[in-house]
Structure 1
């Protein structure tokens, strides 16, 4: 049986330090291995803390071409927004807290150039839904995502997006083209400049295949039309100085 007590300098019985004494008695190699193990454990803990602080990532855009993907990544790097790839590189994800701000700034820069057909991958579609139900679920989800992105503008109190999407039937699809209306409630005394309105139009039109920017109407809470068709040869876009105020 091990002795539980040792004598101190005064000759009085005192508890054995136990672990500390055994640690001192370890060979140098064992001490080194123990130190490396503690360092590795600390690195894992710090990584977990950093990951939890970073937050969840959310799809920024999906179904991107290589050209659009590269341009968007370049812009995200300039804006110091971290990103990840998914779906074989065709989807870009950013922290959930930055997704709406990033979409608006990218849209104001005219990105993506091509329609991406919605933001989110439909991984939550329910089995057994009819084609009509799937389209309705997708449309409502896209309207909600667009509304939240536009609503993140400082001047906007709330936003509602209504999409008019033609049926998938080939004949009717040729006869009708998709359109959209955006109804904004602005904070008292606040307005949107032309660049911000153009960014909203591009954000909506690029999210729906075959949607012409001219088919997107933006109205304020009084019903006044604040969007206008883009001028010939002029694309939506803001310079770097303007982007910081979005």
Structure 2
């Protein structure tokens, strides 16, 4: 420790020891007060300057806004129940969040007043400056959204009219450019933008605010979206209704078939019935070529009578040409009395023997052609999966002691299963080419409870019969005793 500092500390210590207790307490209190004051001043100096978020608020608006700020986790301050201050860097973001929740208090403007007025400014200049400031404040607020890269706002202020009934409403349009990776905004975010713009502009109603994306698509037309959703919901409900009706109808046909074949449904369990419909619209052009049929097939016979014409086609046109030339050709000699203009030697060869022949035979055949434009129904069966479990028959015989039945299980034969499967395929409309599946098997059903109840009922009936027989014997003995007694007497 330096010698000079050591001397100072020694002097302070000697001075402090010369003081009495009262002076020591007063000096300690002063030092403590100075330390606390320094701490408070340092804390205040470290705090950021806050800006006014809203002022002149009602008690209701103050409570709603502060409650929302607490839930969003923002720091804020308030001098009373009418003024709220926030961090200046968070002000635009907070305003946007509150606008999404429709919590902007009525009368709060989304732009700031001008701090400097020019001496030569006219009222028109002030109006233009006011419009630009309002437009810029709204655009700046919109660009604080995480999904928005740029925002452009245009506001249409109508000219003042003498009568309010003749004045046009204030209108605004907003164009948003999303950040890369964002394709659309949620309905809640769009409503927040509409509320923000409508509250920031005087006399602007939310229904007069149009919001569009960079492609020019209106995203604030909630009525159109709502009607589209209602239409889609009705379509889905109609599809479900038709599908359920078709499923129930085939289920009824299937149960009727099983009831007729097995005498009831007590032995049948439908473990699975999957009925899928395909709602894809299909339209195509069919251009088919087929051979010409001379004799069609009779579907009522087990053999085929189909017979095609020779060559599988019909002759539709023919052309036959035949030419034949023999002998001397004609060579003109010119006018009478003149020598022909023929080279020497040609006349001798001209009259030699010559032949010419031509033969042409053309036949045109045509197959059966069919050109059709097909548009299928709005729905079709995509796939059917059916699984049926059938219980066999139980043969029962009463035991000699009468305590129950001896039972023997008789499964359903393969021929019966094949017949049931065939009838179910026809009733439900199974198409194996479509990929439909059907399973019909026989499995013993657990009837332990039923058998126990039947055995118990048999024992009860036997006990009742024994009681009736015993009662009849007693009555008969009583009658005989009475008759004997009277005869003896």
TM-score (normalised: structure 2): 0.39
Structure 1 residue 69: Cα displacement: 3.4
Q: How many residues align?
A: 213
Residues 90-99 or 168-177, more deviating: 168-177
Could you tell me how far apart the structure 2 residues matched to 1:219 and 1:211 are? 18
Q: Against the structure 1 CA distance between its residues 163 and 64, is the aligned structure 2 distance closer, same or farther, given a 3 Å change threshold? A: farther
Give 2:210's aligned residue: 217
Structure 1 regions of 5+ residues with no counterpart?
1-12, 232-246
Q: Tell me whether 1:77 sits opposite 2:70 in the alignment.
A: yes
Structure 1 residue 22: Cα displacement: 3.7
Could you tell me how far apart the structure 1 residues matched to 2:31 and 2:146 are? 53
Residues 199-208 or 220-229, more deviating: 220-229
Structure 1 residue 84: Cα displacement: 4.1
Alignment of 1:113-192 (within 5 A): 114-116=106-108, 118-126=109-117, 128=119, 129-168=121-160, 170-171=162-163, 174-190=166-182, 191-192=184-185
**Would you say the 8 A contact 1:218–1:225 is kept in 2?**
yes
Could you tell me how far apart the structure 1 residues matched to 2:11 and 2:111 are? 57
Could you tell me how far apart the structure 2 residues matched to 1:197 and 1:143 are? 18
**Would you say the 8 A contact 1:59–1:120 is kept in 2?**
no
Could you tell me how far apart the structure 2 residues matched to 1:168 and 1:92 are? 35
Could you tell me how far apart the structure 2 residues matched to 1:94 and 1:230 are? 36
Aligned pair partner of 2:45 in 44, 48, 52:
48
Residues 69-78 or 198-207, more deviating: 69-78
What do the CA deviations read for 1:12-68 (whole angstroms, capped 9, x no partner)?
x9436244234323342323322331232132112211x1xx3x3334345645433
Could you tell me how far apart the structure 2 residues matched to 1:121 and 1:213 are? 21
Q: Against the structure 1 CA distance between its residues 92 and 145, is the aligned structure 2 distance closer, same or farther, given a 3 Å change threshold? A: farther
SS in 2 for 1:157: strand
**Would you say the 8 A contact 1:160–1:183 is kept in 2?**
yes
Give 2:10's aligned residue: 21
Q: Which has the higher strand share?
A: 2
Aligned pair partner of 1:38 in 35, 40, 49:
35
SS in 1 for 2:220: coil
Could you tell me how far apart the structure 2 residues matched to 1:226 and 1:219 are? 5
Q: Against the structure 1 CA distance between its residues 206 and 106, is the aligned structure 2 distance closer, same or farther, given a 3 Å change threshold? A: same
Could you tell me how far apart the structure 2 residues matched to 1:78 and 1:166 are? 40
TM-score (normalised: structure 1): 0.73
Could you tell me how far apart the structure 2 residues matched to 1:131 and 1:173 are? 26
Structure 1 residue 113: Cα displacement: 5.4
Which of the pair has more CA radius of gyration?
A: 2
Could you tell me how far apart the structure 2 residues matched to 1:181 and 1:110 are? 19
Structure 1 residue 169: Cα displacement: 5.2
RMSD: 2.9
Could you tell me how far apart the structure 2 residues matched to 1:166 and 1:136 are? 14
Structure 2 regions of 5+ residues with no counterpart?
225-489
SS in 2 for 1:217: strand
Could you tell me how far apart the structure 2 residues matched to 1:136 and 1:31 are? 64
Could you tell me how far apart the structure 2 residues matched to 1:177 and 1:161 are? 17
Could you tell me how far apart the structure 1 residues matched to 2:56 and 2:32 are? 47
Q: Using CA pairs below 8 Å that are at least 6 residues apart, which structure has the higher relative contact order?
A: 1
Give 1:97's aligned residue: 89
Q: Against the structure 1 CA distance between its residues 58 and 230, is the aligned structure 2 distance closer, same or farther, given a 3 Å change threshold? A: farther
